[in-house]
Structure 1
């Protein structure tokens, strides 16, 4: 009975010691086994691991790709045109021993701070050696690759690999935006004024051409009208002359009727002449009168 009572506590202690010597690393993690702060074992594969209880401890780190968003910073490209730039970087722990020695016990949070300074320095270095139009262009892949390579070289001492760096924003500073917009607006207004001036000049040419064409057409029409009127008068005189030659008496009679019609129209005019005037010859007798001019 006493023996059984002693065995159970011993078994419990043994089980506790065995359990405390085991640790599990899943596929998203890496682990270091430390003894008094010194690295004794590196566990990078998922599965079950062993350590010495009470003496050794296990520290786990992320094995996944982590993200880092940099703070906006002002850079000065080669043409001295200031830009506000921020970037997003992806990184991963590739050497646990170097990472532990460089970062200490602070872990990934301290690594983010160190990496932020490294990426920021790489951005200033790369973008400071190119003109601003390359930074503001849509094709910035080469620049981003240069920033990634520069940051990767600096981060190797931390046991970290910089997988990728992407520029998420490249803008002018706020104080420069208003001046830039004003300059763009002035340029567009100048172009619009030039277009209006060219349009007005073209309109003047069209109007001048149209006015000249109207004058030419009017003059030609008048000339043709005068020609036609002259030909008509000549034809009328020819017909009158032919009619007079055929029957002078009838011609004199029609000319007298025309004279009566014009003289006896209503109105305020008055005609004073003798009753026996030749003008009334066809009204008082059947004898023919001399043609009236």
Structure 2
């Protein structure tokens, strides 16, 4: 290769290097600052194609999207002095690029560590003012809203970070306290079960007593009605017998005697001592019953 060609190649390479150090692109989901010999000269560069002084200026880009930082599990105490292991996370986003760069050097890890420290202190204060029931279920949303607003105000001012949300993923008792807690919970559930069984037994006795009362009332009413109907039937039968007797007293006496004979001599071993001259044999001696 000739000297001229080599020179042209060197010039081309130098031009490419200079061009690559002159032009830069900031995407819509990025935030950027421009440094000149390490000094911040332009903050929050807008998205698009930009130019800088090669070698003298340097561009630092940061993720401008909402980021998630998982916090390490921390130990907090409630107002009843109950120790809890809390696992939480933070949703955050760069808001003030200049403040963010000056406070963290543009390092996500540094930003998350400082933010996590502030959130841990805030959670510790909030948990220390609330009961176990409040932090577990009762007022958790209120607690998270308060701490988010409080941490966000400080984070924007000191770190250039906007805290979008802080959430508790899980709350556990320490391992050494779990067994005693579970035993106490089991005892509480057993106590509730005994109370429910006692209430159920009491209600069963009330229902059974009411059912027995209703049965007794129904049986008494049925017996009353049966006796009334039986009495009416007996009265009706007596009336019929009386009416029949009045129509033909002699025939009625004859039928009654035949029935008496049938019942008296129905068994082969029956023995009856009766005076032959008694009225019992009146119709056997004379069909007319006169003798």
TM over 0.5: yes
- 1:160: how far off? 2.6
- 1:137: how far off? 4.1
Q: 2:33 aligns with which of 31, 35, 41?
A: 31
Distance across 2 between alignment mates of 1:275 and 1:263: 15
Contact 2:152 2:162 in 1 (8 A): yes
- 1:161: how far off? 1.8
Contact 2:85 2:172 in 1 (8 A): yes
The residue that corresponds to 1:66 in the other structure is 67
The alignment yields a C-alpha RMSD, in angstroms, of: 4.0
1:53-107 Cα offsets, whole Å, 9 max, x none, are 2x654433223332212233343344555554433322223344433443347x1
Contact 1:31 1:44 in 2 (8 A): yes
Distance across 2 between alignment mates of 1:283 and 1:160: 135
- Relative to the length of structure 1, the TM-score reads 0.73
The residue that corresponds to 2:159 in the other structure is 159
Distance across 1 between alignment mates of 2:16 and 2:276: 166
The residue that corresponds to 2:121 in the other structure is 121
Contact 1:91 1:161 in 2 (8 A): yes
Distance across 2 between alignment mates of 1:251 and 1:11: 155
Equivalent residue pairs, number: 282
Residues 21-170 of structure 1: matches in 2 within 5 Å?
A: 21-27=21-27, 28-35=30-37, 37-42=38-43, 44-46=45-47, 47-53=49-55, 57-80=58-81, 82-104=83-105, 107-137=107-137, 140-156=140-156, 158-170=158-170
SS in 2 for 1:270: coil
1:222 equivalenced with 2:227 (yes/no) = yes
1:195 equivalenced with 2:196 (yes/no) = no
- 1:48: how far off? 2.3
- 1:38: how far off? 3.9
Distance across 2 between alignment mates of 1:121 and 1:286: 126
Structure 1 pair 113–178 and aligned structure 2 pair: CA distance change class (3 A): farther
User: Considering only CA atoms, is the larger Rg found in Structure 1 or Structure 2?
Assistant: 1
Q: Which runs of 5+ in 1 are unaligned?
A: none
- Relative to the length of structure 2, the TM-score reads 0.73
